[in-house]
Structure 1
Amino acid sequence: MDDEQFIFCLEGVPDIETNATTEVLRNLERLALEQGIASIYKACDTIEGLEESLNTLLYDDHNFTDYEIIYLVMPGEANNICLNDYYYSFQEIAEIFEGKMKGKIIHFANAKILDLSQDEAQYFLDVTGAYAISGYGATMPKLSSLNLDKAFFGLCQELDDVVEIVEELHQKHYALCKLLDFRLYY
């Protein structure tokens, strides 16, 4: 893969007016220092904020093609996200991303469960144009997926084939992959 691959992270927060450095942002900074993987971080507290951030990335950032991973750290339940106490289904998210994620991996942190049927995953991939969608089948309030996310991002930089990426991730971090139930649909 190209050495100049980036991560675009959107984190759902209760209030964007609160100017706090989150654990996610600190980990992205460490990822840049330790592995040389650059990222752009945006916080959002509404679906409009998510759309605006995405549109800014798509239309104003001339390096958009270099963003391999769209990293979504948002609370929710199985197959939906929650912003500002409102739940959005994966179908609604797919429609927001419609045709805009060509060749991207959309990765969800374990702040929410990702449990798609084959048809739901294919619908999401077809509508968004994404190469793959990944996340976790288990949420554990006291165990964040941040370290496994960083390992996944590093492997995405090294390897081209998602099957190889998943196999390598399981070889290196088997217990954590099983505990958090890492999943990838492509």
Structure 2
Amino acid sequence: MIILPIANENIHLIPDTTNLDIIGNVEISYLDSTFRYAVNYFSNAQASSFPTSKPKSIFELNENRFGYVYLDDRNYVGHSIVENRFNNTLYIEDFAIHSDYRGKGYAHKLMDFIISNSKYNGISLEVQNTNVVAFLFYMKYGFCIGGFDTLFYENTVQKGDIAIYLYYSI
């Protein structure tokens, strides 16, 4: 297993879409200056997919927007696209692990790599309330809820979903 910077020789390995099962949704509340959440599980999972933030070419990456690809031999395991933000934090634009490798610790290893190679004070990201598996991974990893937006997906096919903003201090 190896994690490499995205480059011309490996950019083609990143898929255009990521598949996931929608197993429920996360309800967020804010009361007495505290965020709380509850997970509502569906009786049947719903297969879904979403486009990755795969760069169309290596030229879309630079010192402020870069990424990593996680490989097993020459097979794609996962990737992350990150962006340096003005407040000395790293924003995770895209973080995905191939379905064949999920639940085996690879997401944790990729996040460890991002953090250990970061020169920033923190990490932020947005996760959909219907992406329960990702949300629970981030919470278990140590991210905290910083806010949510009920209108973020209003003009998309995900209308009604909620954007949850998560933060991690380094």
The TM-score with structure 2 as length reference comes to 0.36
**Greater Cα radius of gyration, structure 1 or 2:** 2
More strand as a share of residues: 2
The TM-score with structure 1 as length reference comes to 0.34
More helix as a share of residues: 1
